[in-house]
Structure 1
Amino acid sequence: MANNTKADLLQWLAGGTRTYGWDAVIAYGRKDANALLRKQFIAGFADATTFPTMQGVIETGQLTKTLRNVQLGPPQLSFEASSLDESRARLTLRIVAGQVVTEGEGGVVQKIQELVPAFSPELFMNIALNKTDGGSTSAGELYLDLNDAYDFTTSLFDADDDAGQVQAGVFFRERFAELPQARRFTLGSVARVDGVFEVESFEVRTQMAPGANVRSAANFGDGAVLMFIKFRGGKPGTMPTPDAFRYLIPEDGFGATLILSASSLLTRLGESIGAYLGEGVTFQVTAAQNALVSAKASGEWSHVSVDPYSAGWQSGPACSTTNVYDRLDSFSVSSLTLSIDGEKLVLAWDETHQRPWYCFGMSWPCSQPALVFSETTSNSGNYLVDLAVTCKFVVRLNPAGEAIVVEQTSYASSVSCSDMHAPSPISNAQVESHFQAGIQSEVKDTFESIPDMTLPIGALSGLLFADSNSVRLKEAAAPQDLVCFGDIDSNTETPCLCPEDSVLGANGVENLTCNVAVAQWTLRDGDGNDDPKTVGSITAGRYQAPDMSNADGVSRQIIVTAHAVGGGQAHALITVLKTPLMVDPVFQVVSPAGRCEILAGALNTPDVEARLIAHWPEIAPSLTPVPDKPGAYVFAPGKSDKVHSLSLDRVEFTSKHHAGAVSSAYVLTQWRSDTATIIIDPEWTGPSTQAKLMLLATNDDWELVPYDGADWTLFAGDGSVDASGIYTYPERPEAGFAVVQAILDDDGYELRSHLVIPSLAKSFPVVSKYATRFRVLAVGTGGITLYWQRPTTQAKPYYTVLRDGALFCAGLYPPVPYMTSLEAGKTYKFTLRVTYKDDPQSYDCGPITVTVPLP
């Protein structure tokens, strides 16, 4: 469903004030909110405070996800579950760099993902938008804190994997808690300064766009952050219900909407008009909530000056003159109103005034003009003045977008005088006509050209983002409330780079521009390195990415900083890819009867070409493009193979847009089950560039023990393995993994196993308080074996095994199999709990369900 158009909103706003008693309401949409978050994220990354790379293990009992050198991208708000009843939104963080290794039962690697922006898992959470209390200079700050996030989900795990979703939430919540500075993002800082608009407080709500909860909709997730604002001296309004309040961001290309209540608008315009008419004129707004609003004047329009009417006549030998005076120099304005009608402001005055008059006369002998022999001042009375004035004004935004200008477009008036009873022989009609002309002239002089009124709405929009951003207004109208449409942009004096966030291939070029003069350009990577071989070079905004042929990872993030001549800095984040061709995953395991999907893409184009290179061509594996999904392919391992135990097929991707670039994805198929297990010896004390591999199998007593004498071979991938099972990691990984095989003839029974070793395991060892590879194996009659690998933290762990939720055993167990006997045929649930002396939190693995074998 589309959002409202501007015309729809104006029609709705014309039905009455829509601010529910608040002095102003501002709404800004997802695009502008996310731009604020992205700018802060990049600035924080430049200060080395935003999301350092993460290492860790997410253990569910079924799957283990090992995260190495993981980098999160900018947070992105969405509003598919938002309501005006609360102030929450959906927050998405993409995992844009690093490696994620998925292990299944028995610690077998199932998938390796080398993460790049094009193919990256996402982390989702609900989060509350909070505000701080105001102070002497601030009415408060609108912010979100990742520590307040809840209901975590992630595409690292299947949507129905409840345990995986819960444990992923626990993992990332812990990581966020370790970042007291970087976890908080500001969405608005409201200043408190003297002026026409002095914000005292505000409330926050979120709003979903129409139909934005439908995943297939073009505007899915669209919505807005709303701030309901009270000015000093005002009263807080009420909160609208979701079904009574329109979505305020129009689909006409605007990102923010500012509404000044009709009450606030008329109050401020009434002050200007009152000051113009005289000190005695004031306006008072009268309106029921969400009804048409008007302001009624009180006081007197003073400084009215009507010339007296003069008449003269002769009666016999006597000559006479009389002056008729309007005795008042003001008019009551009790019926003067200021209202809004059809997007025009209307100043209307329609009133019958009863005004007193008196006359002063003299007579003298016509033959002796200097001799006055009679004066008369006793005649007086009242007459009526019917006065009607209508002035109309339009609202426009000045070219700079900083002020609302209210200018008069029309004037109409009528004045009539009646009920005059002047003494004879004075003509009542002539007196009425004289007074009418005088009053008409005064009214015209005052009301025909009321000076333009200026409302500094830009000051209000600046207060609402009192840091480096403000609402840039583009259009304005006054259907009832004053509504302004615009966007949130950086202040003109704040340094800003464009583009802020981009992706390049190795040796690629990006031209950056800054809105202010730049004194110096600097570069560094996420670790603080500034060696041109690592970060590239920049001259006058022209950035050239480094050569990535010797890079350890598949991408590198570079911070570009422009140091402004006048002070201040602007930052941009550039992700440099080792190759412009991206695949996901780079390695995965598929069962003989299974299928798996591979995604591929090229920088700035979806056009890729795929070629399947079969390990054993006679098995006839296949690769099929997915219809209507560019870059997606389905791999099938082929027919059954009774000769080979493993096959590793490679899919090679190229693109005509990137000559010479090649990327590969590997698929491992296990045609025969392993009869043993290979593990990396956790007690290995040799060089960090090597690992000791151990072949484990059960003996006659059903104990899982190591076996010596196996034949070790590197089946495929990087590195090397010697005859004793010492694996040496590669200096420069190419495939990104190794597949090591071990075979041993044990009295005619072949012990056979393989192990997939990710190449980054050496460079980025994982530190975790969780035990991993927790397994419960049913062995022999009435027996089970519990096995786990100890946590990688240096702290000493204490283990507690829970059986069906109750204590089963506990102690400082070494990381070796633990055997016990239970009732045969019965099913149990086991949970492994790890605790530490100085840490009140427990770290659980499981539960795992096992049925004890029968005799």
Structure 2
Amino acid sequence: MSGNSLADLLAWLKVKSRLQGWGMIYAFEKDKINRLIEQEYIRRFNMGNDIAPVKGDVPVVENIWKVSLSNWLLRSPQMSFENTGLNDSRARLSMAVMGGKTVSLNKVNDSWKANKIEEYDPLQGPKLFLELLLHQVIGNVSGDGLISLDLKKSDNFILESSDTLIQREIVGEYFKTLFTELPDEKRIYPLGRIRHGSNQLMNPTSFHLRTQSGADVVVNPQYKGCILVFIATATRKGDGFPGEGFKYLIPDDAGKDYSATLLFEPSAVSASVLIFEVAKLLGISAETDFKYSHNADGELLTATATSGKISLPAINTDVHVDLQDGSKILVNLDLNELIFPSFAPSALVIDVSQNKYTVQWSVATKTRCKLSSQGQVPYEKMIACSLKMSAEYELDDSAAGVSLRRTDLQVDTAAEFLDEKAHKQDKGTNQAEFWDTIKLYFILSTVKADILDKKLGDLLEEALKGLFKADFLVKDLIDEVIEMHVGQTVQGGETHAPWDIGYFGRINPTQTTFVINPTDLILGQDGTHQFATDPVVTGVKWAVEPLVKSADSPGTISESGLYHAPKANSFSGRFTRLRITASDPRTGYFSQALVTVVAKNLTINPRIQTCDRTNTVELRAGSLGNAPQKWSIKNPVAGSGTVSPISGQYGAYTYRPGSEVPDQTFLLEEIEVQVGTEPAQSVHVLVLQKQPAAFVEIVSTDPGKGQVQLQAVINGRVVPVVWRLPLGGPGTIDANGLYQAPANPVASFVLIYAVYENEFLGNFEGFRILPLPLDEFPELLEVLEQ
């Protein structure tokens, strides 16, 4: 026995309220809510809330080392909840860098020089991770019902793949500052929307999130862990959070597939049900047509109707009346419609104080009454009818369902003829009709109690019993609240009221019954992939749509789910993105996946980096499907180094320089990576054998024209040098040191050598690395020029 069946939970809930002063507590199975969040993330992808490309300088070591970020394209934050305890709950957000460049700079001779350039795409880019420490974050429910978390309250920003822990944390801090400065629409992470309705007692004002592991309360490895949402309302703001021993709220009954439990404060539900039902009877709005009174703690005491009425239909019935002489007479009672106003001075009041639910009403009205007997001329008079009603209700949990059950109904009525004077003979009335009317009047005056007090009282009481029902079902209100709060997120539940009112259901099967496998795929241009659902669902319909607003082709997908990606010449840039949908026409259930199609199957970083001969360089490569990579030094020479894999990290390698090369200033190494039969790609490491004697300065720049004027300085003196491009480009450099970049450079950098030749002292060498294209880095070039 697990000890967490529905019966076990109900027994635990029956002992006392478990809400701890909150208006509601919702529990969702973590894995399924993460799946739902993932599907919502895919649905909203590229809908205008992506963070704009990031540019800026990040100091790592003040005035010594910094990194410059250029056009970093971040995917929208993807949230997941970590399986932690109630007192250490957190949500993790990840943002992959889909594109952009990073230039690392260090200061040499009081000037900044680039020593590393990286260029990212979906195959190889760092990830930004951040945490929301949920116990420090309050979720807000705004006026339009938006449920959101503010990312400026995030913490523990870490940039994966930075060189050192210090750099990872410092760049992370840069993004933390960046997030605090983002506009709301970029910084606020939406989780959903609550429709605020007329139910003032159950409209949320804020919420707190916690996570809970099944291991917190009972040892059962099958428990997935859950997310707890503590919801405050205007009157129930919470008294704290549960500690150890708070039971795992999701039942584990075999075959039931429970994945969500929702707890509601019983008095708020009961009062809401009664107010809503009475409002319907009166034909008024529970939101606008009641005056509410509260105690000092803000709890509702009474709801008084300010408009409305109850109309009882006309009555036409026969009454047998016993006369004093022992005879009987049959009297027909014909009563016009009775309209009882429910507002002042005869206001209907709903009293919900002290967990008692009572409808109280004292009211009077007038109508016309017609009496006739044995074919006599009808006797027609106005009557005054009054009633005093008290209906009491209590919450009832029975096999038929949770309801507000009427425990007592007291109805007192009274009726009187108005202006009870004997009829005078009207003109045109013959003597026989006159004496019949007089006879009927005297008869009725002796039996008024039978007709007006008893019979009419019985009829009114019976009518009110029908209106103020013996049972008002709670389920309809619970369903409405759930639909307003979480839409279709939770379905198919059953309601119980051991103390608090509990709804036990499952996360919306529409988006969680099956998923596309995989949900996030990177595919090469012109490649194919066979999609499937998990679990397998036969007869699903497949569709593909582009996510980039351009003429890019999204590719095609067959009836069986075989996707064919577009060719590289069918889309612009290094990649394109699209969305795959699988839908089941029989149930309406569906799942979606993201696909990124890349123009190249391999990406390596850094593109170039300098290092001293005694240091190492970390290299990373991303390839489609994590295919095996073959790394090597291309065209090794004396002093060439080696590359070796970093244990446990796919695509991560360490370059180690070789032995010292005498009489050389630097050694340019080309590291080559090959995947399968695809053409190899290369990156470069400039190994400094000794510190360069010549310093290459930037004199001026014109990024618009793609030009940089350089000069070489030795011991503070400008010297004539021989300029060359050791990699053959891109671009050209003339004898005067004017570098001209190509219009559309393929490479992300250019390496420039300067050699000062001296027949007595030998050669003095220097170098400069420039990021390309130049017009992407105008601010950085200004820094390098200083």
Q: TM-score normalised by the shorter chain: which range applies?
A: 0.5 to 0.7
Map 1:797-816 onto structure 2 (within 5 A): 816=786
Counterpart for residue 161 of structure 1 = 166
Once the two structures are aligned, what percentage of the paired residues are identical?
Answer: 21
2:627 counterpart (598, 604, 607)? 607
Aligned residues: 569
1:742 counterpart (746, 749, 754)? 754
Judged with a 3 Å threshold, the aligned counterparts in structure 2 of structure 1 residues 170 and 134 are, in CA distance, closer, same or farther, namely: closer
Partner Cα distance (1:475, 1:663) in 2: 60
Counterpart for residue 689 of structure 1 = 706
Map 1:795-834 onto structure 2 (within 5 A): 816=786
Counterpart for residue 752 of structure 1 = 765
Deviation at 1:70, TM superposition (A): 1.0
1:176-203 CA-to-partner distances (Å, cap 9, x unmatched) read: 63544232221132223368x9732254
Partner Cα distance (2:7, 2:768) in 1: 66
Judged with a 3 Å threshold, the aligned counterparts in structure 2 of structure 1 residues 543 and 18 are, in CA distance, closer, same or farther, namely: same
- AA partner of residue 99 (structure 1): K
Q: Answer yes or no: is the 8 Å Cα contact 2:128–2:158 preserved in 1.
A: yes
1:648 aligns to 2:655 (yes or no) = no
Counterpart for residue 668 of structure 1 = 686
Counterpart for residue 504 of structure 1 = 523
- AA partner of residue 187 (structure 1): L
Judged with a 3 Å threshold, the aligned counterparts in structure 2 of structure 1 residues 490 and 738 are, in CA distance, closer, same or farther, namely: farther
Judged with a 3 Å threshold, the aligned counterparts in structure 2 of structure 1 residues 179 and 739 are, in CA distance, closer, same or farther, namely: same
Partner Cα distance (1:550, 1:680) in 2: 40
1:740-799 CA-to-partner distances (Å, cap 9, x unmatched) read: 11112368474421122333x4363365xxxx7xxxxxxxxxxxxxxxx7569xxxxxxx
Partner SS for 1:99: strand
Partner Cα distance (1:689, 1:89) in 2: 46
- AA partner of residue 756 (structure 1): I
- AA partner of residue 18 (structure 1): R
Q: Answer yes or no: is the 8 Å Cα contact 2:42–2:592 preserved in 1.
A: yes
1:588 aligns to 2:590 (yes or no) = no
Partner SS for 1:181: helix
1:470 counterpart (486, 489, 500)? 489
Q: Answer yes or no: is the 8 Å Cα contact 1:597–1:633 preserved in 2.
A: yes
Counterpart for residue 94 of structure 2 = 92
Partner SS for 1:161: helix
Q: Answer yes or no: is the 8 Å Cα contact 2:543–2:557 preserved in 1.
A: no
Map 1:487-526 onto structure 2 (within 5 A): 487=507, 501-509=520-528, 523=546, 525=548
Judged with a 3 Å threshold, the aligned counterparts in structure 2 of structure 1 residues 508 and 160 are, in CA distance, closer, same or farther, namely: closer
Judged with a 3 Å threshold, the aligned counterparts in structure 2 of structure 1 residues 542 and 695 are, in CA distance, closer, same or farther, namely: farther
1:471-507 CA-to-partner distances (Å, cap 9, x unmatched) read: 2457888887635253356689xxx999764322112
Partner Cα distance (1:599, 1:255) in 2: 44
Deviation at 1:204, TM superposition (A): 1.9
Deviation at 1:160, TM superposition (A): 4.9
Deviation at 1:41, TM superposition (A): 5.5
Partner Cα distance (1:250, 1:790) in 2: 64
1:638 counterpart (646, 658, 671)? 658
Partner Cα distance (1:609, 1:574) in 2: 23
Partner Cα distance (1:68, 1:212) in 2: 45
TM-score, length of structure 1 as denominator length: 0.54
Map 1:51-90 onto structure 2 (within 5 A): 51-60=51-60, 61=62, 62-77=64-79, 89-90=91-92
1:678 aligns to 2:696 (yes or no) = yes
Map 1:375-774 onto structure 2 (within 5 A): 455-456=475-476, 458-466=479-487, 470-473=489-492, 482=502, 484-487=504-507, 501-509=520-528, 523=546, 525=548, 528-532=549-553, 544-548=564-568, 554-557=574-577, 573-604=594-625, 606-656=626-676, 659-681=677-699, 683-685=700-702, 687-699=704-716, 706-715=718-727, 718-730=730-742, 736-745=748-757, 748=761, 750-759=763-772, 761-762=773-774, 764-765=776-777, 767=779
Judged with a 3 Å threshold, the aligned counterparts in structure 2 of structure 1 residues 713 and 580 are, in CA distance, closer, same or farther, namely: closer
Deviation at 1:154, TM superposition (A): 2.9
Judged with a 3 Å threshold, the aligned counterparts in structure 2 of structure 1 residues 544 and 752 are, in CA distance, closer, same or farther, namely: same
Counterpart for residue 186 of structure 2 = 182
Map 1:204-215 onto structure 2 (within 5 A): 204-210=207-213
Partner SS for 2:173: helix
1:225-260 CA-to-partner distances (Å, cap 9, x unmatched) read: 513255x9x744422244353565799998953222
Partner Cα distance (1:141, 1:269) in 2: 23
Judged with a 3 Å threshold, the aligned counterparts in structure 2 of structure 1 residues 228 and 122 are, in CA distance, closer, same or farther, namely: same
Q: Answer yes or no: is the 8 Å Cα contact 1:610–1:651 preserved in 2.
A: no
Partner SS for 2:482: helix
Deviation at 1:100, TM superposition (A): 1.9
Judged with a 3 Å threshold, the aligned counterparts in structure 2 of structure 1 residues 265 and 709 are, in CA distance, closer, same or farther, namely: closer
Judged with a 3 Å threshold, the aligned counterparts in structure 2 of structure 1 residues 491 and 503 are, in CA distance, closer, same or farther, namely: closer
Q: Answer yes or no: is the 8 Å Cα contact 1:714–1:739 preserved in 2.
A: yes
Partner SS for 1:15: helix
Deviation at 1:209, TM superposition (A): 4.2
1:200 aligns to 2:220 (yes or no) = no
Deviation at 1:512, TM superposition (A): 8.4
Judged with a 3 Å threshold, the aligned counterparts in structure 2 of structure 1 residues 737 and 22 are, in CA distance, closer, same or farther, namely: same
1:531-587 CA-to-partner distances (Å, cap 9, x unmatched) read: 44xx66789998654433799964444578999x9xxx9996532222223434343
Deviation at 1:642, TM superposition (A): 1.4
Q: Answer yes or no: is the 8 Å Cα contact 2:141–2:205 preserved in 1.
A: no
Q: Answer yes or no: is the 8 Å Cα contact 1:69–1:99 preserved in 2.
A: yes
Q: Answer yes or no: is the 8 Å Cα contact 1:696–1:706 preserved in 2.
A: yes
Partner SS for 2:489: strand
Judged with a 3 Å threshold, the aligned counterparts in structure 2 of structure 1 residues 263 and 600 are, in CA distance, closer, same or farther, namely: same
Partner Cα distance (1:160, 1:600) in 2: 20
Counterpart for residue 7 of structure 1 = 4
Partner SS for 1:243: coil
- AA partner of residue 617 (structure 2): C
Q: Answer yes or no: is the 8 Å Cα contact 1:208–1:222 preserved in 2.
A: yes
Judged with a 3 Å threshold, the aligned counterparts in structure 2 of structure 1 residues 513 and 112 are, in CA distance, closer, same or farther, namely: same
1:434-472 CA-to-partner distances (Å, cap 9, x unmatched) read: xxxxxxxxxxxxxxxx99978355444322224xx5224
Judged with a 3 Å threshold, the aligned counterparts in structure 2 of structure 1 residues 537 and 660 are, in CA distance, closer, same or farther, namely: same
Q: Answer yes or no: is the 8 Å Cα contact 1:83–1:206 preserved in 2.
A: no
Partner Cα distance (1:85, 1:112) in 2: 43
Partner Cα distance (1:6, 1:103) in 2: 61
Deviation at 1:612, TM superposition (A): 0.9
Q: Answer yes or no: is the 8 Å Cα contact 2:100–2:119 preserved in 1.
A: yes
- AA partner of residue 186 (structure 1): P
Partner Cα distance (1:550, 1:691) in 2: 35
Counterpart for residue 439 of structure 1 = none
Judged with a 3 Å threshold, the aligned counterparts in structure 2 of structure 1 residues 187 and 49 are, in CA distance, closer, same or farther, namely: closer
Counterpart for residue 229 of structure 2 = 226
Judged with a 3 Å threshold, the aligned counterparts in structure 2 of structure 1 residues 614 and 131 are, in CA distance, closer, same or farther, namely: closer
Q: Answer yes or no: is the 8 Å Cα contact 1:34–1:75 preserved in 2.
A: no
Partner SS for 2:177: helix
Q: Answer yes or no: is the 8 Å Cα contact 1:601–1:631 preserved in 2.
A: yes
Partner Cα distance (2:113, 2:618) in 1: 19
- AA partner of residue 646 (structure 1): F
Q: Answer yes or no: is the 8 Å Cα contact 1:523–1:560 preserved in 2.
A: no
CA RMSD of aligned residues (A): 5.4
